[in-house]
Structure 1
Amino acid sequence: MGSGREFIPTAHALEGRKVVLVDLRGHGRSTRIPSDLSRDAFVSDVAAVIDAVTEGGTTGPVDLVGQSMGGHTAMLVGAAHPEKVRRLVLLEVDEGNGSPEDHADLGEWLRAWPVPFANREAAIAHLGDDPLSQAWANDLEQRADGLHPRFDADVMVETIRAVAVPRWEEWESVSAPTLAVYAKGGMFTAEQKDRFISRGAQVTRVDLAGGSHDAHLDAFDEWVAALSGFVAA
């Protein structure tokens, strides 16, 4: 439900590098209600962006970074287009998981947002003042009647349903050196993390001492240290 704006501080921290932030379809300032929400469609979008910023690959492959659903997309891009990805960084990612009950709960929660919010303060009062909620509030769209989310609840549910399908074959085929980063308070169990790492080809694992599933926001210094060290190697 977030957008590339969440990674603006990370981009600034990677001094000396060209960083392109992508709003995936259905998110941020991209198409609000896309006709295709398959994993292949997301992969094709990112591949097209890579081609655009590397002049069709003539300037070389990129270091591709993603968190959560965005990381799942990045993993699939690495599998489908190995020639485009030099290094892969996955923050709080696994092969795909989730239950129909989880998806139904997500949809119910999103549809209960009392939108439009009168202002940012009203959004924070409803969503909370943790770093992720603040990021959502900062990303709301100003319209004549107030602030609206930059996403559609049904699109978010359908998107996450596709992410829930395990993609072991793709993960095991990724050839790019990969950094897998997990937060202390993240969403995966020790068993899930161990299994994911063990089935990757060239994986370096970093466990942050703090942070949540959104460690790029609430464990920023640790996250940037892990990321910058890996892409500078």
Structure 2
Amino acid sequence: MGATTQQVQTDDGTTVSCTVIEGDEPAVVLLHGLAGSSRELLPTARALGGRRVVLVDQRGHGLSTTRPADTSREAFVADVVQVLTTLTSQPVVLVGQSMGAHTAMLVAAARPDLVSRLVMLEGNQGGGSEADHQALGDFFRSWDVPFVSRAAAVEALGDGPLQRAWVEDLERRADGWYPRFDADVVQAVITAVGEERWAEWESVEVPVVAVFADGGMFTEQQKAELVARGRDVRRVDLAGASHDAHLDCFDAWVAALRDALPDAARQLEGKRGSRA
């Protein structure tokens, strides 16, 4: 199952890097969370064996432009729309985690013609306090970079699933190892995500699977309200999982994602059966 890296240039000069795994259409497009990259979703992509998967490094993250001029939600949506119109040929299953789920939701609201189904892992329509956003930016600014080695980064950050994802994604430069995101950009992005978008959420017409973790960041009230105010939403709950369930509850997450694609899965099995 070969993977290639492709780049999409946006109208504002931002480079958006994508990893494309070839396979059967319709494609699944994966959007990572804040301060992450598509790398952490590669195991998810490979678990969908036989499907065409496009993994997007959203602006300010991964191999995409690190310090884009525009960090608005509208810019993130425009990037994904351009990726979909450039790298896919029919409506896709759009999957996002956390900030990526928020981006995916806004894309589905703005361009339902490009999306056949939406899967949101630990995502909602926005929210959070200015103090929380400032604290997050301060946390990333507190990293003593560059790290002299990956081992030093593990010692400084910890060895949990999320911390390992950060360490594995570090970029090696001449003087050490650096994160593939900028703390100030991260804070600006999460501040934009914090604006509530109930109107957009309530306008989403495509079927939605909302996947929540029992140890995630949302209260039961928040989860219930999101589902109740959506048009066509099925809720799935993962036990023993955190906000980053794709990292620490992988098997249950993949099972939920596969179950969210029943029609595509049946089509794929039919094709395999016809080749036997």
Relative to the length of structure 2, the TM-score reads: 0.82
Residue 214 of structure 1 corresponds to which residue in structure 2? 244
State the match for 1:184 in structure 2.
214
Match of 2:48 in 1: 14
Question: Using the alignment, how far apart are the partners of 2:48 and 2:262 within structure 1?
Answer: 10
Aligned to 2:80: 46
Higher relative contact order (CA 8 A, sep 6+): 1
- Find out whether 1:204 has 2:238 as its counterpart: no
Deviation per CA, 1:123-150: give whole Å up to 9, x if none: 1111111101000000000001110011
Q: Deviations over 1:204-225 (max 9, x none)?
A: 1100012100000000000000
Q: Gapped runs of 5+ residues in structure 1?
A: none
More strand per residue: 1 or 2? Answer: 2
Which among 68, 71, 81 is matched to residue 111 of structure 2?
81
Provide the secondary structure at the position in 2 that maps to 1:176: coil
> What is the RMSD of the two structures over their aligned residues, measured on CA atoms?
0.7
Alignment map for 1:109-124 (pairs within 5 Å): 109-124=139-154
Displacement after TM superposition at 1:152 (Å): 0.7
Residue 232 of structure 1 and its aligned partner are, at CA, apart by 2.7
Residue matched to 1:25 = 59
Amino acid in the other structure paired with 2:76: F
Structure 2 residue runs of 5 or longer lacking an equivalent are: 1-34, 264-276
Q: In structure 2, what is the Cα distance between the partners aligned to 1:91 and 1:139?
A: 21
SS of the equivalent of 1:184 reads strand
Match of 1:148 in 2: 178
One-letter amino acid of the counterpart of residue 43, structure 1: V
How many residue pairs align between the two structures?
A: 229
Q: How does 1:98-117 map to 2 (within 5 A)?
A: 98-117=128-147
Give me the whole-angstrom Cα distance separating, in 1, the residues matched to 2:222 and 2:203: 19
Partner secondary structure for residue 52 of structure 1: helix
Q: CA–CA distance in 1 between the matches of 2:262 and 2:180?
A: 34
Deviation string 1:44-102 (CA, Å, 9 cap, x unpaired) is 00000001112xxxx32000000000100000000000000000000001110111111
Query: What are the residue-to-residue correspondences of 1:154-165 with 2, within 5 Å?
Result: 154-165=184-195
1:36 paired residue number: 70
Partner Cα separation in structure 1 for residue 239 and residue 183 of structure 2: 33
Letter in 2 for 1:180: A
Percent sequence identity is 60
Scaled by the length of structure 1, the TM-score of the pair is: 0.97
| SS across alignment from 1:63 | strand
